[in-house]
């Protein structure tokens, strides 16, 4: 007869404690992290503005019950919505992610750490308006940027050596965990309450990745992060009301996360030279999508395709003269976006490297509109897709995982119908990589200005850009003042 399970309530799992200690106590002293967070704020909200041009996105926005009025509610940038923080987090999170154009983190697990801004901005705005209603001081945008740095770090460090996709879980579980921790802290949570909120995020039902992969790729991948960050805000609110946590949510025998969802393996972490897990590494090294709204494993392939489009033009050739294309790539690209056969919708197309290479070779561009049905109907795209083959280069895969490189390399070789072969075009680091930050910042700012112009009149555009471009003034600005500037 087996021994009964002990009913002595355990101490909280160390993973939970480490996260709570970090969000409560760690001081961000990296100037690079602060500045990158400011750029990330601009880029992320700009991506959200562009998404407002797409009815498939806007149909999901607003209050759950039309006409609902929320006193002291959080603003949704680019709209007139003022919502409860849970629904505002969903709205902002869905906008941010819709076009697959916000930042990216690639490791054993990949994801988009700026997805957390949905919960962070909604929470900070709501808390600020509640404080003002009580005659208290609101939070400032410094609090938002700090929350972004810490959410990036939590999500990114959990992703470095722990692959959730290989057990069938979607990376938005990490958005939920990071947002729960940071949003609880923004609400004024104690360390114990942060632990409780994070434990609830881990015990929650987790999303399956099936909506990201053939044959089920679909639009849920565009709002999954909004769903995760809004759920995190709800769980944080529960913890602030005194809802108990689940201390051994990860390690509990039989019923814990590790045994049920992670094949019995505990999480592993890379540690810094001071033996700490969390700092500001992820924000410093995060990848921006600057030029192309393409799944990040294809960013360098698109850059190569744009170069080849120019070379073909110089030779008096076009995509019609191509016999075949070989892409040397890394393992993660093969796993996620190497895709043959019919593509059913825009979400399917922006996760197909063959599509993302074919369009720039034909048209000399790749925009969000190029994933829509009218462009996809051009028969030349599928003809060219059928001529593209991918193969792993083990060196590219090694450099992808190397913490000092974190490259996302692709190399394209084009063979023409007459048998001639163009010189291979290789791109290891995309324009949004830390190694190309100086080159990328002017383009990121131009992207932001373009996105502001999609939604606001000139005077409002100029005011928002000027504030975001003045780091000292931005960080001192009350959150509610900042979000009021984004009302249309």
Does the pLDDT of residue 90 top 60, yes or no?
yes
Q: Count the neighbouring beta carbons within 10 Å of the beta carbon of residue 254.
A: 7
pLDDT at 294: 87
Residue 253 CB burial class (10 angstroms; 0-12, 13-18, ≥19)? exposed
Which of 5-9, 75-79, 364-368 has the weakest average pLDDT? 5-9
Percent of the chain residues topping a pLDDT of 70 = 99
Does the pLDDT of residue 33 top 90, yes or no?
yes
| 127-158 per-position pLDDT tens digit | 999 999 999 999 999 999 999 999 999 999 99
Report the chain's mean pLDDT, rounded to a whole number.
Answer: 96
Does the pLDDT of residue 1 top 60, yes or no?
no
225 band by pLDDT with thresholds 50, 70 and 90: very high
Does the pLDDT of residue 304 top 90, yes or no?
yes
How many Å apart are CA 389 and CA 412, to the nearest integer?
Answer: 10
Q: Which two tokens stand for residue 143?
A: 């609090």
Q: Which two tokens stand for residue 90?
A: 């969903």
Q: Which two tokens stand for residue 229?
A: 């960050």
CA 346 → CA 54, 61, 214, 217, 221, distances in Å? 12, 19, 13, 9, 11
Name the pTM for this structure. Answer: 0.90
pLDDT at 255: 96
167 band by pLDDT with thresholds 50, 70 and 90: very high
pLDDT at 214: 83
Rg (CA), the chain: 23
CA nearest 372: which of 99, 101, 46? 99
Three-state SS for 18? Answer: helix
């Amino acid at each position: 007869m087996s021994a009964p399970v002990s009913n002595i309530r355990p101490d909280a799992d160390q993973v939970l404690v480490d996260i709570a200690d970090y969000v409560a106590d760690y001081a961000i002293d990296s100037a690079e992290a602060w500045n990158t967070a400011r750029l990330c704020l601009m880029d992320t909200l700009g991506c959200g503005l562009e998404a407002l041009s797409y009815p498939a996105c806007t149909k999901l926005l607003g209050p759950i019950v039309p006409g609902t009025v929320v006193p002291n509610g959080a603003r949704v940038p680019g709209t007139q919505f003022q919502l409860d923080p849970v629904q505002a987090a969903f709205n902002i999170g869905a906008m941010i992610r819709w076009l697959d154009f916000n930042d990216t983190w690639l490791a054993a697990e990949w994801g988009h750490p700026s997805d957390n801004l949905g919960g962070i901005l909604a929470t900070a705005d709501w808390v600020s308006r509640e404080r003002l209603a009580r005659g208290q001081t609101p939070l400032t945008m410094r609090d938002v940027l700090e929350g972004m740095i810490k959410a990036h770090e939590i999500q990114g460090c959990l992703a470095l050596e722990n692959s959730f996709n290989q057990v069938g879980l979607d990376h938005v579980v990490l958005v939920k965990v990071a947002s729960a921790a940071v949003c609880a802290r923004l609400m004024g949570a104690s360390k114990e309450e942060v632990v409780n909120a994070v434990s609830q995020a881990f015990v929650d039902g987790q999303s399956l990745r099936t909506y990201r992969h053939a044959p089920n790729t679909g639009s849920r991948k565009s709002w999954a992060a909004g769903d995760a960050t809004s759920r995190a805000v709800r769980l944080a609110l529960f913890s602030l009301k005194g809802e108990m946590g689940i201390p051994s949510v990860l390690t509990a025998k039989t019923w814990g996360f590790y045994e049920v969802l992670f094949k019995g393996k505990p999480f592993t972490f890379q540690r810094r030279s001071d033996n700490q897990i969390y700092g500001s590494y992820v924000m410093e090294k995060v990848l921006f999508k600057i030029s192309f709204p393409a799944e990040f494993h294809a960013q360098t392939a698109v850059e190569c395709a744009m170069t080849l489009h120019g070379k073909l033009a110089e030779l008096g050739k076009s995509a019609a003269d191509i016999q075949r294309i070989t892409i040397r790539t890394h393992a993660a690209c093969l796993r996620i976006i190497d895709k043959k056969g019919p593509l059913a919708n825009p979400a399917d197309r922006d996760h197909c490297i063959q599509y993302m290479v074919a369009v720039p070779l034909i048209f000399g561009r790749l925009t969000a509109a190029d994933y829509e049905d009218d462009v996809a109907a051009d028969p030349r795209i599928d003809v060219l897709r059928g001529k593209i083959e991918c193969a792993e280069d083990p060196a590219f895969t090694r450099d992808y995982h190397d913490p000092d490189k974190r490259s996302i390399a692709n190399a394209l070789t084009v063979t023409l119908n007459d048998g001639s072969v163009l010189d291979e075009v290789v791109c290891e680091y995309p324009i949004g990589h830390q190694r190309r930050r100086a080159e990328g910042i002017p383009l990121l700012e131009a992207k932001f200005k373009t996105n502001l112009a999609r939604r606001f009149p000139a005077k409002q555009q100029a005011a928002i850009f000027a504030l975001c471009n003045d780091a000292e003034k931005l960080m001192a600005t009350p959150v509610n003042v900042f979000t009021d500037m984004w009302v249309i």
